[in-house]
Structure formats: structure tokens, C-alpha cells
Amino acid sequence: MHCVANIHDDLYWLGASDRRLAKFENVFPVPRGVSYNSYLVLDEKTVLMDTVDKAVGERFFENLEFALAGRSLDYVVVNHMEPDHCATLGDLLHRWPQVQVVGNAKTITMIGQFFDFDLTGRTVVVKEGDTLTTGRHTFTFLMAPMVHWPETMVTYDNVDKTLFSADAFGTFGALNGNIFADQVNFERDWLDDARRYYTNIVGKYGTQVQSLLKRAAELEIQCICPLHGPIWRENIAWFVEKYQRWSTYTPEEKAVAIFCGSIYGHTENAAEILAFRLAERGVKNVVLYDVSHVDVSELVSEAFRCSHLVLASATYNGGIYTPMEDFLRDLECHGLRNRSVAIIDNGTWAARAGMLMGKILEDMKEMRVMEGSVSLKSSVKEPQRRSLEALADAIADEILH
């Protein structure tokens, strides 16, 4: 049976959630599942905003047929061609052969790459600022290249002041009946997944997100309809401010994230000592992660959240402990910048991890390596304990003042 929800007037949500999916994009763990949102406007002409992943295709088509109630489908707007939103596009065009596909030139090219059907006479190609009037509604199309694919665009409803934002403002997590952000405790239950979604999926493209945010600021937006996660109709500015910080690589909080790569526990002991000394100095926002056990997507998300990072790594085969190096390469790939970083390394006969981590940080933008790096030879001795005390003093001074 159908699961369709009215957003307002003639706008309906008719997506579906996948709670069986283990890894989004076969990379990122999604223990709470993920939603695939699609929207239908029942104007004089009917307009579908994006389709869904094949995993939820059957439910999606049940929802769509129920919402249409026998009406034909006139337009499908393709804001984003990634298969989690377009895998069912072929089935849609087969079921409604009269439907017109609305997308930009890159979108139409990508449709030809994913599918084999002929779109001759079935497309409406739009560019920046073009509009489509369907009766009461007039939709304006804004290009959003590399947020996070080159064909991505967003659609703005000039009448109801609704932004169909593609992957922007999305989040991991299945919807549980409540489709609006104001119906859940978003900050408590959803913000971590929203941050992890942004930083890992879109985080590399901060400049492009900034461009979209600047254009969106010129619009009167009363509702944001993303392709994943809850719909925003209240307190929109709060969530936009999060995107402003994430896309400018501005730390979300004055906080310390200690990332530890330890083999036999001695490097972890140094990290624990530092954490306790920070707590003694009044630093409350401290987290410590074992990079061998915590998924790297969570580590990246925390690095975006926190102002100060501590990298504590054993030397392994003359290099950086492998999980720590993988994490650092991920940070570099996602373009993280504007952080203060402290280094702790360990090596029984050749402590090289610190030097090598420093080289990676040099290749990243605006990453300040703090003075007072700590180097262990096998385990913490009195000189290293004093060095950790001094490092705690330096970090606490910056966090608390």
C-alpha cells in the first residue's frame, strides 16, 4: 500500500526508505538506513521531481500511481543523475511514454550514458535561470555543478518558495513517518549523520557549495526538499549556517579530536594521557578515536567539526600506521583546511610517522602544525610525559581563550 505525505497544497512526498542497505555508495556505513525522496506537484500539468534507487522502486511506483490518481504524468525534472535518484528513470518513461524529461544538457548526455532508450522529442533542455510554467507554478532552474556531480541543478518554485535542492541539505538515515525536520529532534538524532553525509559526499566541493549558497541567499525560501532525509520548513537558517561552516571549512566547534593509531597500546596510552591532561585544564569538548576501529567516514566528519586535531600514530614498516595514513589521505582528498594539528608519533628504533604525517599536512591548505610535537621510543617515559603536559597546556590555552 502507498506511503504518500502532503507537504503543502499540491505538493506531495512519495519517496521511500531503505533500511537494509549496509553501505551507501558501497562505502559509507548507514546503520540507520537512508531515504530516497521524490516529490510530485499536481498542477494543471503534473511534475515529478526526481525518481529513486531501484532498491525502493516498487514502493515508489505504488506511491506515484496513488498520488496521480489516474492522471497522466507530464514532466519529470532530473536534478541529479546519480543512480540512487535515477535508476528507476527508465521504468518511469516506459510506464508514462508521454512524459517530458526536464534537465540540462549534461543531464541529457548522462541519461544516454546510463540508458539505451531514445529521448528524441521527449526532452526539455534548460540552462541557468530558465523557467517552466505548469499552471499555478513557475519553476526556475539553477545550475549547481559539482554539488556533487557536474550535471547537478536545483529547482526553485517561485510560487510556494520551495527549493528542490538535489543532494544539498541531505542526510543519511531512513525516514520514520515524520518527513519534516521540525517533527524530529534533528540536532540530537540527525545532525551527526547530516555532517557525515556532507563531509564525505560533498565536502571536497566547498567552493561550489558556496556558489550555490550565495545564489540561494537571493531567493525567498520557505521550504527545502532534499533528495535524502527530512524536509525543512522551519528554522531553515540554522541548517544553512551549518552548510556555511562546512563549505568554508570553518570549525563547527572549539573542540579537540584525538585520532590514535596504536599497535600494542603505547601510542594509545600517550593519547589517553593527553586527553586526561586536557580535561584537568578545563577542556570539556574532547573526543578520542581509534582509527583502526572507527569507520573513516566518522573520522572525517569529526575532523570537520573540531577546531583542533591530534594525530597520534605508531611507525609501521618505516611509514605511518596504515589506518592513520588512510585517514589522512581521506582528509586531504576532501580538502579539509583551517585546522590546528598536534602530532604524536612512536617508533621503537625509527619514529618516522610524525615526519611523514607532517609532509601530508604540508600538502594540505591552511593546516597549522602546532609546536611541541611528542615523539616516543616504544612507550611513555618521564620526558614524554612532560612534553604531553606542555602540549595540553598549549591546546587548552587556544581552546579556552
| pLDDT at res. 1 | 59
Residue with cell 496513488: 66
Strands (E), 180-326: 223-225, 253-261, 286-290, 306-316, 319-320
pTM above 0.85, yes or no: yes
80 cis-preceded (ω within 30 degrees of 0):
no
CA distance 131 to 159: 12
What pLDDT is stored for residue 2 in this prediction? 80
pLDDT per residue of the chain (401 residues) written in tens, 0 to 9: 588 999 999 999 999 999 999 999 999 999 999 999 999 999 999 999 999 999 999 999 999 999 999 999 999 999 999 999 999 999 999 999 999 999 999 999 999 999 998 899 999 999 999 999 999 999 999 999 999 999 999 999 999 999 999 999 999 999 999 999 999 999 999 999 999 999 999 999 999 999 999 988 999 999 999 999 999 999 999 999 999 999 999 999 999 999 999 999 999 999 999 999 999 999 999 999 999 999 999 999 999 999 999 999 999 999 999 999 999 999 999 999 999 999 999 999 988 999 999 999 999 999 999 999 999 999 999 999 999 999 999 999 999 98
Domains of the chain: 5-247 (3.60.15.10), 254-400 (3.40.50.360)
Alpha carbon separation from 281 to 275, 284, 382, 391 (Å, rounded): 10, 9, 20, 12
Cell triple for 274: 593527553
Within 10 angstroms of residue 69's Cβ, the number of other Cβ atoms is 7
How far is the C-alpha of 312 from the C-alpha of 346, rounded, in Å?
8
**Which residue's C-alpha cell is 583502526?**
292
**Residue 22: exposure state from Cβ atoms within 10 A (0-12, 13-18, ≥19):** exposed
Beta-strand (E) ranges in 109-178? 123-125, 131-133, 138-143, 153-157, 162-164
68 exposure class (CB count in 10 Å sphere: 0-12, 13-18, 19+): middle
Q: Do 134 and 44 form a contact (C-beta atoms < 8 A)?
A: yes
Set of cell numbers at residue 123: 526532452
CB atoms within 10 A of CB 155: 24
Most distant CA pair in the chain, distance: 79
Q: Which residue has the cell 545564489?
A: 215
d(CA 57, CA 15): 9
Ranges assigned E (strand) in 122-239: 123-125, 131-133, 138-143, 153-157, 162-164, 223-225
Q: At what angle do helices 322-333 and 353-363 cross, to 10 degrees?
A: 10
pLDDT of residue 117: 87
pLDDT of residue 269: 97
User: DSSP per residue over 332-375, as a string?
Assistant: HHTT--SEEEEEEEE-SS---HHHHHHHHHHHSTTEEEPS--EE
